[in-house]
A and B are shown apart, each in its own frame.
Chain A
Amino acid sequence: MTKRKAVALISGGLDSLLAAKVIQDQGIHVEGINFYTGFCVEGHTHAIRKKDKAKPKRNNALWSAEQLGMKLHIIDIAEEYKDIVINPKHGYGAHLNPCLDCKIFMVNKALDWANDNGFDFIITGEVIGQRPKSQRKETMPIIARESGAHDRLLRPLCAQNLPATLPEREGWIKRDELFGFSGRSRKPQIELADKLGFEEFAQPAGGCCFLTDEAYSKKLADLWEFRGEKRYELDDIMLLKIGRHIRPAPNFKMIISREEGENNFLEGYRKQFLHLRTISHNGPLTLIDGEPTADNIEVAARIAARFSQGKQAELVQVKATFPDGQSKVLEVTPILPTEIPQSWYI
């Protein structure tokens, strides 16, 4: 008998790990697929921020695959994904998270991969009621239909609450060995993890995507508003992940590093931006995004001085270097905290 093959969407979280394991345990050959959108929380931020250095720098999707003893294919979809973020057919969730469109898109990409590689069906770790935007009883058939996967999409953790899929009807999978989880509670998953012998697993709050993060979404909305169009490049969304973002005027914003790791990361961008560096005192590197006037640069220098070790000094020297390499030194009084309106912080 031909051994059936399934491709599992692996995020690196517990649910996708369990879903893949449950199907492996039914004798199916499972390989994982993980999509890189540019908004993934893990990886980049951990690599950038010094304060995260103590955390293991593992990629949880790779770690999950290793626990399961299966191959993992990581696919870069960052360019195609822009259209999902910019024009989500089903709209956004609480922030700029287009979760339903995202899931449809990923299942569709997994279906293409399955067809190209001779795989029979697709597994996800979805649970009805687990996520308010995409994982609801009424969205499950929408994902199956609009992705084109139809009954080749199996959700092992909540399959018993849904109509039987092709693998169940064909007898490749025993439906009574699948699960009927529903709701926000994580208890059934934790118990299953324990039963299956997983002692350690990642459980990122709100998932593994920056778009579910309120502060990040505000920065992205600000970027679109002041550019006058919904558009982004990969560098834009990287820079939104780090630093303190301050917009003193519509025509420019400042990105001020908060620690050494961010400083090092911003160094890689300094030739593309007007940037400020305090030279009389130690301080963070600041990038200026936009088209500031000379007066704006003066204000920005005063703000940069505020975040330097010279914040109590009478005068701080700040070097402004332009993308063409020209520079000038400004001597400024650090701005007072009370002179920075809260509305400037993005």
Chain B
Amino acid sequence: MSTFQLNAENLLCPMPVIRTQDKIATLQSGDILEVTCTDPGVLSDIPAWCRINGHKLLDSGQTGRIITLEIEVVHEEED
């Protein structure tokens, strides 16, 4: 299990979601991804994307204009 960072600052939705999705596709189950963003829309969109795709949102917060989301990657087992 490893922790990865993704800088999605200065991108407007849905680009931070797309960058998160594409990065997570390269990670293993159990890996942690920390995403930093500036578009407040991510506070709605990235948690929604995590819920529908089965990943765990561990934490989210904002310091100044920087929003940070911490996601645990969960890839479904193939049947």
Contacts and interface: CB of A to CB of B under 8 A. Distances in A.
Interface of B: 10, 12-15, 17-18, 21, 39-41, 43-45, 48-49, 51-54
Interface of A: 34, 36, 40, 43-44, 46-48, 56-59, 61-63, 65-66, 69-76, 238, 268
Contact of B12 (A34, A48, A71, A72): A48
A43 B16 CA distance: 11
Given A47-B39, A72-B52, A73-B21, A36 B12 contact: no
B14 A59 contact: yes
A66 B48 contact: yes
Contacts of B43: 57
A201 B35 CA distance: 29
26 contacts: A36-B14, A36-B15, A44-B13, A47-B12, A47-B13, A47-B41, A57-B43, A58-B44, A59-B44, A59-B45, A62-B17, A62-B45, A63-B48, A65-B52, A66-B48, A66-B51, A69-B52, A70-B52, A71-B52, A72-B53, A73-B21, A74-B17, A74-B18, A75-B18, A76-B15, A268-B10
Contacts of B15: 36, 76
Contacts of A268: 10
B48 A57 contact: no
Contacts of A58: 44-45, 48
A268 B39 CA distance: 13
A315 B40 CA distance: 39
Chain A to chain B: the 4 pairs with minimum beta-carbon distance, closest first: A43-B13, A62-B48, A57-B41, A44-B12
Contact of A76 (B18, B48, B51, B52): B18
Contacts of B52: 62, 65-66, 69-72
A76 B41 CA distance: 18
Given A43-B14, A70-B52, 19 more contacts: A36-B14, A40-B14, A43-B45, A44-B12, A44-B13, A47-B40, A48-B12, A57-B41, A57-B45, A58-B45, A59-B14, A62-B52, A65-B52, A71-B52, A71-B54, A72-B49, A74-B14, A74-B49, A238-B12
B41 A74 contact: no
A65 B50 CA distance: 12
Contact of B53 (A61, A63, A71): A71
A268 B12 CA distance: 12
A48 B12 CA distance: 9
Contacts of A44: 12-13
Contacts of B21: 73-74
Nearest to A76: B18
Nearest to A43: B13
Given A71-B52, A74-B17, A56 B44 contact: yes
A71 B53 CA distance: 5
Contacts of B44: 56-59
Nearest to B21: A74
A59 B17 CA distance: 10
Contacts of A73: 21
Contacts of B10: 268
Contacts of B41: 43, 46-47, 57, 59
A65 B39 CA distance: 21
Task: Name which of B39, B40, B52 has the most chain A CB atoms within 10 A of its CB.
Answer: B52
B52 to A, nearest CB: 5
Contacts of B17: 59, 62, 74
Scoring A72, A74, A238 by chain B CB atoms within 10 A of each residue's CB, the highest score goes to: A74
A62 B12 CA distance: 15
Residue among B13, B39, B41 with the highest chain A CB neighbour number at 10 A: B13
A268 B48 CA distance: 27
A78 to B, nearest CB: 9
Contacts of B51: 66
Nearest to B48: A62
